[in-house]
Structure 1
């Protein structure tokens, strides 16, 4: 099973959309709220240098990017490959 991590925040429509896709595919993921936990925000920025927006998504410790990047992987048919690697 793939290790999926989503750095998100409250009232973030892009976070909701990204998590919706993951749930639709029946995937489990860990969610870290960077608005409530500043340590998680720093962790996110260390893992994805230059990224200041949420969500930031990682699959098997590989940085996907944000919501649009996740949907782009799915639309290109590459998301399942990421989940298997």
Structure 2
């Protein structure tokens, strides 16, 4: 199974949607809370190449994108293979 990490911000509806999608797939993942002004937020921005919005999904250290990107992969039938499920 690939290592899945997702940076989220409390109260963010896109973050909730992305986490629910991962949960529905039975994926083991690490959720990292990345509030504004925290080291976790700075790390997420740096790792993603400057992307400022949350959530931010990484699979095996590679930046995949945010919620819209995840949903596009899901609609295209590519997310399961990326996550190593199904």
Q: TM-score, normalised by structure 2?
A: 0.89
- Rounded Cα–Cα distance in structure 2 between residues aligned with 1:29 and 1:81: 15
Q: Give yes or no for contact 1:4–1:30 (8 Å, CA) kept in 2.
A: yes
Q: Residue 56 of structure 2 aligns with which residue?
A: 56
Q: Is 1:25 matched with 2:25?
A: yes
- Rounded Cα–Cα distance in structure 2 between residues aligned with 1:66 and 1:7: 9
Match of 2:83, SS state, is helix
Q: Residue 47 of structure 1 aligns with which residue?
A: 47
Match of 2:58, SS state, is strand
RMSD: 1.4
Stretches (4+) displaced over 4 A: none
Could you tell which deviates more after superposition, 15-24 or 32-41?
32-41
- Rounded Cα–Cα distance in structure 2 between residues aligned with 1:62 and 1:80: 16
- Mark the runs of 5 or more structure 1 residues left unpaired by the alignment: none
Q: Give yes or no for contact 1:60–1:83 (8 Å, CA) kept in 2.
A: no
Q: TM-score, normalised by structure 1?
A: 0.90
